[in-house]
Amino acid sequence: MEKIKVENVSKIFGRNIKEASRLVSEQRSKTDILKETGATVGVYDASFTVNEGEIFVIMGLSGSGKSTLVRLLNRLIEPTSGNIYIDGANIATMNKEQLRKVRREKMSMVFQNFGLFPHRTLLQNTEYGLEIRKKDKETRRKKAEQALENAGLLAYKDQYPNQLSGGMQQRVGLARALANDPEILLMDEAFSALDPLIRKEMQDELIELQENVQKTIVFITHDLNEALRIGDRIAIMKDGQIMQIGTGEEILTSPANDYVRNFVEDVDRSKVLTAENIMVRPVTINIDHDGPKVALQRMREEEVSLLLAIDRQRNLKGYVTADDALKAAKEGKANLSEVLQQDINTVTPETLIQDVFNVIYDSPTPVAVVKDKRLLGVIIRGVVIEALAKNEEVE
């Protein structure tokens, strides 16, 4: 379900905005517009949607317009043109009171700068947004304590910000934003100031938190690995324009242009691509009705020495080798259940290639890709090695 819809939104800074807007409509470059008008295009005719409950990452290098764009979503910066819909209501045309209501009830924002009040305890900091909304003291306390509990910080509620590490302070900032129970969370470079290990922990915490609270999150970053790690979809920006929107896999495997291609060329694909990307069609035998002779015939046709065994619902039951099928045929057995072997390794479609390699390294059989017991595909060692080799070539 669509939560945010951005339609042809531009933000132009400086003078000659009307002329600059005309040049944007003619799709002139940001550089040309600056030369001709002296105006700077911060966001250039951006259009996209954000679905309810997804983490939508907007990323780009410094000056790409990503932070300007996220501030347009709650009108901390006024758009020059275009429409921004939240649940179908156009915030670009709202008056101050309507906009204030949306900001208080639907949105919260987390910045790179934690913005905690040094003279307030963690509990008091977390209560702040509720205090502004004039919630009663007991309601404020309960909601703030629950938010700190979710962030693993309730035991520290009476301490002050300067008593905490940077990572813990950022968790308080996140708890404060979530205490308001917003439908939309805007996060502008929220983890950028943190040390790498703490940053990774915060990314993991955000993913885990999202599984529980299911907010709509717009996350700004300049770090592609961070975007790939947490984003359901990613928008890559350059010079105020959106170059491509897609899942991490779509962007890595089908970059829209040379800029995106160059941007992603150093990414370790083994940490992004999954079993679903490299699995191949399995050669199977249905143990509910196929016997040893059918199994041997299929092995000859497919030039394989092993079949994955499934039932009528395509549930994986195990595997049958050529030796076992031949033995069963010689002994006159009508079905394969007596020679079925079940020591087969399985992974889910979402398993990363680097983790597949750890499973398949010592596996005597191919690895089955299974979801809800159903067989989707199979992974062979050569395909994994080929995928990892391609990554080495990229690096």
Q: pLDDT, tens digit, for every residue of 201-226?
A: 778 778 877 887 788 999 999 888 88
What is the predicted pLDDT for the residue at 245? 96
Which whole number is the average pLDDT over 307-322? Answer: 90
Between the two ends of the chain, the Cα-to-Cα distance in Å is 38
Counting residues of the chain whose pLDDT is more than 90, the rounded percentage is 30
pLDDT class for 112, splitting at 50, 70, 90? low
Distance CA 123, CA 126 (A): 5
What is the predicted pLDDT for the residue at 168? 81
Ranges for all domains in the chain classified under CATH 3.40.50.300: 2-106+182-267
Do the Cβ atoms of 327 and 354 come closer than 8 Å?
no
Dihedral over alpha carbons 144, 146, 152, 153 (to 10 degrees):
30
CA angle 120/123/128 to nearest 5° reads: 70
Do the Cβ atoms of 127 and 142 come closer than 8 Å?
no
Instruction: Note the pLDDT tens digit of each residue in 154-202.
Output: 888 888 888 887 778 878 888 888 777 788 989 888 787 777 667 777 7
Residues whose CB is less than 8 angstroms from the CB of residue 277 and which lie 6 or more positions away in sequence, other chains included:
249, 253, 353, 387
Higher pLDDT, 118 or 212: 118
Which whole number is the average pLDDT over 106-127? Answer: 83
Distance CA 60, CA 128 (A): 32
pLDDT class for 265, splitting at 50, 70, 90? confident
pLDDT at 394 over 50: no
* CA separation, residue 376 to residues 90, 200, 357 (Å): 43, 32, 18
pLDDT at 45 over 90: yes
pTM beyond 0.75: the answer is no
pLDDT at 151 over 90: no
The burial class, CB within 10 Å (0-12 / 13-18 / 19+), for 354 is middle
Helix (H, G, I), strand (E, B) or coil at 326: helix
Do the Cβ atoms of 79 and 7 come closer than 8 Å?
no
- Nearest C-alpha neighbor of 220 from the set 74, 81, 114, 68: 68
Ranges for all domains in the chain classified under CATH 3.10.580.10: 275-389
Do the Cβ atoms of 122 and 173 come closer than 8 Å?
no
Distance CA 42, CA 70 (A): 11
Task: Return the CATH number of 2-106+182-267, one of 3.40.50.300, 3.40.50.150, 3.30.365.10, 3.30.70.20.
Answer: 3.40.50.300
Run of H or E including 188 = strand 184-188
pLDDT class for 12, splitting at 50, 70, 90? very high
Higher pLDDT, 128 or 197: 128
Of 177-181, 242-246, 309-313, the one with minimum mean pLDDT is: 177-181
Q: How many CB atoms lie within 10 A of CB 118?
A: 8
Which whole number is the average pLDDT over 89-116? Answer: 85
Task: Return the CATH number of 275-389, one of 3.40.190.10, 3.40.50.300, 3.10.580.10, 3.30.70.260.
Answer: 3.10.580.10
